[in-house]
Every structure is written in C-alpha cells, then in structure tokens.
Amino acid sequence: MSDSEQSSGESGSYVEAGGFERDTNYIETRITADGRDGFPVEAGRYRLVVARACPWANRAIIVRRLLGLEDALSMGICGPTHDKRSWTFDLDPGGVDPVLQIPRLQDAFFARDPNYSRGITVPAVVEISTGKVVTNDYPQMTLDFSTEWTQYHREGAPDLYPEPLRDEIDDVAEKIFHDVNNGVYKCGFAGSQDAYEEAYDALFARLDWLSDRLENQRFLVGDTITEADVRLFTTLARFDPVYHGHFKCNRSKLSEMPVLWAYARDLFQTPGFGDTTDFVHIKSHYYEVHTDINPTGIVPKGPDVSSWLSPHGREALGGRPFGDGTPPGEPKESERVPADHWA
C-alpha cells in the first residue's frame, strides 16, 4: 500500500494473494434527526469536506445538490492532490479552509482522536464549533442526507432512496460497489497477475450485467434517479479519463459500451451530475498522487470530454429523472466547477 493510497480517501491494503482490500472501517457516528449519536441534524452546525477528484466524495456533492442542502450544510473543497499526510485546502486563500480555519483535513480527524491512525478520507462531515470530524462513513452519509435531513430538503427535492425500493437499491448498489466502484481499484492496485485478472474479469462481467439491465430501462431501479445511479455514475465518469489506462481496465472504454455510455451521458446532462464533475481535478489526482503506478506524474492530455454533451437518446425509454420533484437550480457561484473542467 502506497502512502498516497493510504491518505487519498481511497485507503486500502494488499492481502497476501496480491489483491487490493479496501479499509472500510470508517468513523460510523451518524448525524440524525433525533440525534441519537449525539449529533442532531441542524442547519449551519456542520461542514461537508470533499474533493472533487474523489468518486466517493463526488457522491456526497451530487446528493447534497440534488436535495438542496447547500444552505443547511456548507461545503469545503480540498484540492486534487495531497501529500501522504492529508488532503489539503490549497484551493483556498492561504491554503486554509475559511470556515474550519485548518490547512489540512487531518487536523479535524486529530481533533476528534489525537491517535487517529487510519486514512484521512473524504467525504467527511466536521462539526464547525469543535473542529472535530463527526463521520467519514460515506455510504451511510448520503443515505442520511436523503432520510435524516428531510426538514432541510429543497421544495421539489427527489426521493433518492424511496422506501418501497430500498432492498433493491441496496442489492444493486452492493453489486456495483464490489465489482465496479471498488473493482477498478482492485485492478489498479493488484499486487499479482492473478489478482488483477480476477478483478478485471469481475469488473467487465458486472459492466455487461449493468448494460443488460439498462438496455430497456432508463435508470437502475424504478423509473427515477436513485442512490444506485449516483453510486454508479461517479465511477463511469472516471472510467475513460483514468481507469481505462491508469488502472489497466482496458477491455473497453466507456465510450465503446453503447448502453452504459448513453446512460452516463444522460446522467451527466442532468443538473447535479455533470456540473459537479471536474475532469481536470480527477486526472490531476490519480496521475499525480499515485506515484507508485505513475512515477513520472505526467497527466494525460486527453480524452476529449466534449462528447459527454452529445445526444444520448435515453428519453425514449421514458422514466422521470426527478419523479414528482424538480431539477435543482444553478449551483452556488462559489461551488461552480470551472466550465473548462467539465465540458
């Protein structure tokens, strides 16, 4: 395991067989409506810390925006690169987060536990008054945004985790996590040929399964966008710019898989998805930080991302992206991805 991998928000370890095993022991404290873990939902109390480069953090950015939580939950944005110690706030004046007044996310983890020894990961939610991280449990975090923060949802917010479909959403999301979200990392950080080929085969078998599932339905579960779509999208968005070459996931590019490519473009062109995707940060992070895979630190110039805005034709399958809700409005000026970073 490289130092960069440990601190990048994608921490994991190599097992004896040479495979990549993700460290999933996150801080599981939850922020809930009833405050049962000591942290009740409260507007202005917490700050969501993200990095646009990270697929796990990108999920939180998308869900926050779709639900309209911007005024209740502020957001600090780390730069795309970091050293082995921590993500840093190098995009902010003086390299210090203007709300938390810290230069490194590590400071919030150490404020909670001075002996904290695991990965300093994004996304993380920090209590502003104490400067202590509350949770970095990213799978639960977005579900709680949908189910516990409802009093602060915007009018017209979609239901991303509808109760009648939760078992199916959970099942599909679990398959996607093991073989796709985490599967690309199993390929990229494999320590043996056998481990790599096993992960490679599982990845593309699952992508084929997803293509079959999505051939005649617009979204993964039901006829609206759900948490499952958010979780798949952030990996698909990084596939051609990073995973195809950098992680050796090279049977096919996303742009060579017709169903998934059209599905990904459909989501990308939906408010909340493409406008939170930063291809410049994505490439900078993976190619500059993962020096064990890319020791030169050279960032590829391509691919051309303008094709993400090409017609996708998925409307013909029906579906209602936001269900009975409405699209989110324009992003806050301070949170806009520069236009030349995403299209």
- Please state the domain count of the chain: 2
What is the spatial distance between Cα 134 and Cα 126, in angstroms, rounded to a whole number? Answer: 5
Same domain flag for 174 and 100: no
User: Do the domain assignments include residue 232?
Assistant: yes
Q: Is the pTM of this model over 0.85?
A: yes
Residue where one domain finishes, among candidates 124, 152, 180: 152
Range of the domain at 233: 164-341
Same domain flag for 240 and 309: yes
Average pLDDT over residues 303-330: 97
Average pLDDT over residues 179-191: 97
Same domain flag for 279 and 337: yes
Same domain flag for 133 and 212: no
Could you tell me the CATH number of the domain that includes residue 325? Answer: 1.20.1050.10
Same domain flag for 135 and 190: no
Same domain flag for 108 and 189: no
Phi, psi of 7 (to 5 degrees): -100, 0
Query: How are beta strands 132-135 and 74-78 bridged, if at all?
Result: unpaired
Same domain flag for 129 and 23: yes
User: Do the domain assignments include residue 304?
Assistant: yes
pLDDT in tens, 25-45: 799 999 999 999 999 999 999
Average pLDDT over residues 110-130: 96
Q: Within a 10 A sphere around the Cβ of 15, how many other Cβ atoms?
A: 11
Mean pLDDT of the chain: 93
Same domain flag for 146 and 250: no
Of 129, 156, 6, 139, give the one whose Cα is nearest residue 67: 156
User: Do the domain assignments include residue 58?
Assistant: yes
Same domain flag for 168 and 140: no
Q: Report DSSP letters for 280-325, one per residue.
A: HHHHHHHHHH-TTT-TT-PPP-----GGGGS---GGGG---TTTTS
Could you tell me the CATH number of the domain that includes residue 126? Answer: 3.40.30.10
User: Do the domain assignments include residue 16?
Assistant: yes
Residue where one domain finishes, among candidates 103, 128, 152: 152
Same domain flag for 134 and 13: yes
Residue where one domain finishes, among candidates 123, 152, 181: 152
pLDDT in tens, 15-27: 445 777 766 679 9
User: Do the domain assignments include residue 158?
Assistant: no
User: Do the domain assignments include residue 189?
Assistant: yes
User: Quick check: 178 pLDDT over 50?
Assistant: yes
User: Quick check: 139 pLDDT over 80?
Assistant: yes
313 compared with 341, residue with greater pLDDT: 313
Average pLDDT over residues 179-204: 97
Residues with a known catalytic role: 54, 185
User: Do the domain assignments include residue 323?
Assistant: yes
pLDDT in tens, 264-297: 999 999 999 999 999 999 999 999 999 999 999 9
Of 124, 160, 126, give the one whose Cα is nearest residue 39: 126
> Cα separations (Å) of 205 from 33, 199, 201, 236, 251?
40, 10, 6, 15, 11
User: Do the domain assignments include residue 159?
Assistant: no
Same domain flag for 94 and 182: no
Same domain flag for 276 and 333: yes
pLDDT in tens, 197-245: 999 999 999 999 999 999 999 999 999 999 999 999 999 999 999 999 9
